[in-house]
């Protein structure tokens, strides 16, 4: 199944809708106002039933977020530590089935893999709209987990990019 997302749309405090490739709304994300301690998002069906809850982890060496279902942590999405060979993210799930996200993360051209198998592809090349990208989730995979992880990666990567893009103050 292919889902449509808007580039740089995700931020805490904002609400947005995720659509299928036919343009029909399938999920909504409630960008709940963040608390002083952590940022939060609720991933819901169209009737408002919470399917997953995303919250920032307070103690982490790299940016990381927990994905919870019914109050239980089902995954931790974390940016890889400095690695000379690749830039990516790990979606740490209980057991041996972790996901890795690698590719051009800022350009929305990357894949989620489990071992050597691709389980989802994120790409802008499917759409003529420059601010739209898609997430194609393979059959049998958990679309909520993949889409929630994609939202987290987008928020972290674009927060990092905006920090790097800010000019430094000049002293005269």
Nearest to 89 by CA among 97, 77, 72: 77
pLDDT digits (tens, 9 = 90+) for 76-114: 999 887 655 556 899 999 988 899 999 887 777 899 999
Q: How far apart are CA 155 and CA 168, in angstroms?
A: 22
* Residue 88 CB coordination number (10 Å): 18
Q: How far apart are CA 161 and CA 168, in angstroms?
A: 14
Q: How far apart are CA 47 and CA 77, in angstroms?
A: 26
DSSP string over 79-121: EPPP-SS--EEEEE-SSS--EEEEEETTTTEEEEEETTEEEEE
pLDDT digits (tens, 9 = 90+) for 23-32: 899 999 887 6
pLDDT digits (tens, 9 = 90+) for 28-70: 988 765 554 556 788 999 999 999 999 888 776 778 899 999 9
What pLDDT does residue 56 have?
Answer: 87
Does residue 3 sit in helix, strand or coil? strand
Nearest to 90 by CA among 114, 74, 73: 114
Record the tokens describing residue 52, joined without a space. Answer: 């997953």
The CATH number that domain 2-164 falls under is 2.40.160.200
Record the tokens describing residue 99, joined without a space. Answer: 């996901």
Record the tokens describing residue 84, joined without a space. Answer: 């000379």
């Amino acid at each position: 199944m292919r889902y449509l997302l808007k580039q740089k749309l995700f931020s805490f405090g904002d609400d947005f809708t995720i659509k299928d490739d036919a343009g029909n709304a399938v999920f909504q994300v409630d960008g709940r106002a963040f608390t002083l301690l952590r940022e939060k998002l609720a991933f819901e069906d169209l009737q408002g039933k919470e399917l997953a809850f995303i919250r920032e982890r307070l103690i982490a060496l790299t940016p990381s977020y927990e994905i919870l279902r019914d109050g239980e942590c089902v995954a931790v999405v974390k940016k890889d530590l400095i690695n000379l060979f690749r830039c990516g993210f790990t979606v740490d799930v209980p057991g041996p089935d972790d996901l890795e996200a690698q590719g051009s993360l800022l350009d929305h051209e990357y894949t989620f893999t489990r071992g050597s198998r691709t389980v989802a592809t994120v790409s802008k090349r499917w759409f003529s709209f420059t601010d739209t990208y898609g997430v194609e989730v393979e059959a049998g995979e958990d679309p909520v987990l993949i889409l929630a992880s994609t939202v987290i990666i987008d928020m972290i990567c674009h927060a990092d990019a905006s920090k790097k893009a800010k000019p430094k103050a000049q002293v005269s």
